[in-house]
Amino acid sequence: MNQREFHKKVGISWVAAVLFFTCSPTQAAEPVAPVSVLIVYHSASGNTEKMAQAVAEGAKAISGTKVVLKRVGEVAADDLVSSDAVIVGSPVYFGNMSGEVKTFFDNWNLKFRLSQERRMANKVGGAFATGASISSGKEVTVLTIIGAMLVNQMIIVSGGGGFSASATTGPTSPGIDEKEMAEAQDLGKRVAEIAAAIKRGSSK
Ligand SMILES: Cc1cc2nc3c(=O)[nH]c(=O)nc-3n(C[C@H](O)[C@H](O)[C@H](O)COP(=O)(O)O)c2cc1C
Quick one: average pLDDT of 39-43?
Answer: 99
Residue minimizing CA distance to atom 28 of ligand 1: 93
- Size of the chain, expressed as the number of residues it contains: 204
- The answer to whether residue 152 sits within a structural domain is yes
C-alpha span between 70 and 145 (Å, rounded)? 16
Contact of 72 with 106, CB cutoff 8 Å: no
Please identify, by atom number, the ligand 1 atom nearest to the C-alpha of residue 169: 21
Q: What are phi and psi of 118, to 5 degrees?
A: 50, 40
- pLDDT, residue 201, reads 87
Reported as a pLDDT band with limits 50, 70 and 90, residue 32 is confident
Q: Does 172 contact ligand 1 (Cβ within 6 A)?
A: no
> pTM for the complete prediction?
0.87
Cα atoms in the 13 Å half-sphere on the side-chain side of 106: 8
Q: Is residue 20 domain-resident?
A: no
pLDDT of the residue at 11: 55
Q: What is the count of structural domains for the chain?
A: 1
> H or E segment at 35?
strand 35-41
Is the Cβ atom of 137 under 6 angstroms away from ligand 1?
A: yes
Task: Assess whether the C-beta atom of 173 lies below 6 angstroms from ligand 1.
Answer: no
Q: Is the CB of 169 under 6 A from ligand 1?
A: yes
Residue 33 has a pLDDT of: 86
Which structural domain, as residue segments, surrounds residue 91?
A: 35-202
Question: In this predicted model, which residue has the larger pLDDT, 22 or 117?
Answer: 117
pLDDT tens across 162-191, in order? Answer: 899 999 999 989 999 999 999 999 999 999
Q: Which CATH number do you get for residue 118?
A: 3.40.50.360
Q: Which of 50, 141, 124, 53 has the alpha carbon at shortest distance from 90?
A: 141
The pLDDT confidence band at residue 159, using thresholds 50, 70 and 90, is very high
Does the residue 122 lie in any domain?
A: yes
The residue contributing the CA closest to ligand 1 atom 4 is 93
* 25 part of a folded domain: no
Q: SS3 of 188, please?
A: helix
Please check whether residue 8 lies inside any domain of the structure. no
* The one-letter amino acid at 140: V
pLDDT in tens, 83-107: 999 999 999 999 999 999 999 999 9
Whole-angstrom CA distances from 95 to 16, 135, 141 are: 70, 9, 7
Mean per-residue pLDDT, 110-138: 97
CA pair distance 25, 179, nearest whole angstrom: 46
115 pLDDT above the threshold of 80: yes
